[in-house]
Structure 1
Amino acid sequence: MLRYAIPLAAIAVIAAPASAAEIQIASQGPVVELSVSEVVRSAPDVAQIGAGVMTRASTAREALTQNSQAMDRIIARLRELGIAREDIQTSNFSVSPQYDYNQGTGEQVFQGYNVNNQVQVKLRDLPRAAEILDALVSVGANNIYGPNFMLEDDDAVEEQARAQAFARGQRMAEEYARMAGYSRVRLLEVSESVQNQGPIPQPAMVRSMDASESAPPIEPGQVGTGVNLTVKYEMTR
């Protein structure tokens, strides 16, 4: 989530033409610009798990039929485990022809059609993450990734990180002012960006599993909500 810079002098302006130029704030003293980051860590309360099936057959119709049957089993199992329908969402679907290169003839040899279907599952009962993963494999899921832990509502920790970042930025500006022989600072501009940090798997971590593997232990750990501020202060006497 990104927020644009808001010059303080512009806050009182009720409306302005869309083509108005950016407001420049005049300053008499030196200006210090600082980048400040703060991260607040907390226990996650939800996780996202990706699960799906890749099937291959000689025709697209056959591959699709096999895939649809497998996905029906996966979704039905998730519902049996208490996952609400609104917490199951299709995230990817593709049908693609597959070829192998014949080094002897230099030709592309048709191998069939791949159908890939993925759903994104929101898990609200984190202690059951390993159970859910094991159940998905048991009913035929062969592409699984995650879990991606997060906070469903991070407004409170975001506000905490923002307050900490702003206070630290002001302390730093005042310290610079004292070192430069000035007594105070005047805030000119603030811009912000917010980042969620945690044990997030990369997309390339999608892996194939078979039913002989057992689900690994799952540890939610902590996730971080970070606020990055860029602040500009004028040094004053």
Structure 2
Amino acid sequence: MKIFLVLILGVIVSQSSYATDPIHVIAVNGLAEHAVDPNMTVLQVEVWGKGLTAKAAQEIQIKFYEKVKEAAEKFKIKKEDMQTENFSINPETVYDQKTQSNRITGYRVSHTVSMIYRKVENAGTFIDALAASQKDDKGGVNIQNISWDYDKKSVIESSTLAEAVKAGRAKAEELAKAAGVKIKAVHRVQQYSSTPSVSSRVSGSMMSMKMSESAPTELSAGQIKVRVEVQMEFEI
């Protein structure tokens, strides 16, 4: 579904030029907005493991990462749609009052992956599949962020820009007619803003995936809004 909105504001002004005669212009703003249904769910997934040694923590993390890869393969996520964003191995410490220093108690391995799932309507089922990999408190899978996007935004931006320019010219012609003048030429056109945005986002604290016995996950993707504004001046 696509929603189209156009808002135009116009005024008639005069500009001084380097020549003797001033340049008279009609100045208008054109705003166009399209809204489209997203066709991608973007997830940031953390796979982690804890152990007394760094090697033990890494082995636990690998076990859970294999389960994540199995879920990705089952839901046909393409290789290029799965990318490591961060990998870290950090010691966990406690403060020892006797020695007045930090003492290492173990290690935590974290592997953050960005995943794109292209069947938005089944995103909840995919998240449930990731949730099934959470087994114990030594390791697991966290969903850090969920957002929605559209992979053809450039096409929508182009058509939205064209609509904004078209509507701006139409308004300028209306103003010229009302003022009893004629438009001679386009003096200046500038794209003021183009602001495609993700419709909704789940963020903040990490969502620990321990929901294997809960009801199926439901997500509301909303719509992706692409907004373009232009400033136009026409010589009269």
* CA-CA distance at 1:77 after TM superposition: 2.3
CA contact (8 A) 1:145 1:201 kept: no
TM-aligned CA distance change 1:205 to 1:157, over 3 Å = farther
Deviation sequence 1:72-110 (CA, Å, 0-9, x none)? 121122212332333322222222233456799875454
CA separation of 1:62 and 1:160: change in aligned 2, threshold 3 A = same
Letter in structure 2 aligned against 1:122: I
**Offset at residue 234 of structure 1 (A):** 5.0
Q: State the Cα deviation string for residues 181-236 of structure 1 (Å, max 9, x = none).
A: 8643633232355332233426545432324555531223321122233x241543
- Equivalences for 1:73-88 in 2 at 5 Å? 73-88=67-82
Instruction: Report the structure, 1 or 2, having the larger strand content.
Output: 2
1:90-135, Cα deviation, whole Å (9 max, x unpaired): 2222222334567998754544322111222221222211110001
- 1:201 and 2:201 matched: yes
Number of residue-to-residue matches in the alignment: 211
More off after superposition, 116-125 vs 126-135: 116-125
Whole-angstrom CA distance in 1 between matches of 2:86 and 2:44: 10
- Name whichever of 217-226 and 175-184 sits farther off: 175-184
Structure 2: distance between partners of 1:134 and 1:90? 21
SS of residue in 1 equivalent to 2:73? helix
Q: 1:96 to 1:187 in 2, by over 3 A?
A: farther
Cα shift at 1:49: 2.0
Aligned runs of 1:44-83 on 2, under 5 Å?
44-83=38-77
Q: 1:96 to 1:203 in 2, by over 3 A?
A: farther
Paired residues of 2:29 and 2:232 also in contact (CA < 8 A) = no
Task: State whether residues 100 and 110 of structure 1, in contact with CA within 8 Å, keep that contact through their aligned partners in structure 2.
Answer: yes
Aligned position for 1:136: 130
- Counterparts of 1:202-217 in structure 2 under 5 Å? 204=204, 206-212=206-212, 213-217=214-218
User: Secondary structure in 2 aligned to 1:166?
Assistant: helix
Structure 2: unaligned runs, 5 residues or longer: 1-16, 135-139
Letter in 1 for 2:61: N
User: Matched residues in 2 for 1:97 and 1:34: separation?
Assistant: 60
Unmatched segments (≥5 aa) in structure 1: 1-24
8 Å CA contact 2:41–2:148 kept in 1: the answer is yes
Q: What does residue range 1-237 of structure 1 map to in structure 2 within 5 Å?
A: 28-29=22-23, 36-100=30-94, 107-140=101-134, 141-171=140-170, 183-184=182-183, 186-191=186-191, 193-201=193-201, 204=204, 206-212=206-212, 213-229=214-230, 231-236=231-236
Query: In the alignment, which residue of structure 1 is the partner of 2:11?
Result: none
Asked if 2 retains the 8 angstrom alpha-carbon contact of 1:98 and 1:112, the reply is: yes
Distance 1:97 1:35 in 2: 57
Q: Which moved more, 1:199-208 or 1:111-120?
A: 199-208
Kindly provide the CA deviation profile for residues 28-75 of structure 1, in whole angstroms up to 9, marking residues without a partner as x: 325676654422011122221222212222322222221112101211
Q: State the identity as a percent.
A: 22
Given that 1:29 and 1:234 are in contact with CA atoms closer than 8 Å, whether structure 2 keeps it comes out as no
The separation in 2 between residues aligned to 1:164 and 1:203, in whole angstroms, is 34
Report the RMSD for the aligned CA atoms in angstroms.
Answer: 3.5
Partner of 2:14: none
CA distance in 1, matches of 2:25, 2:89: 57
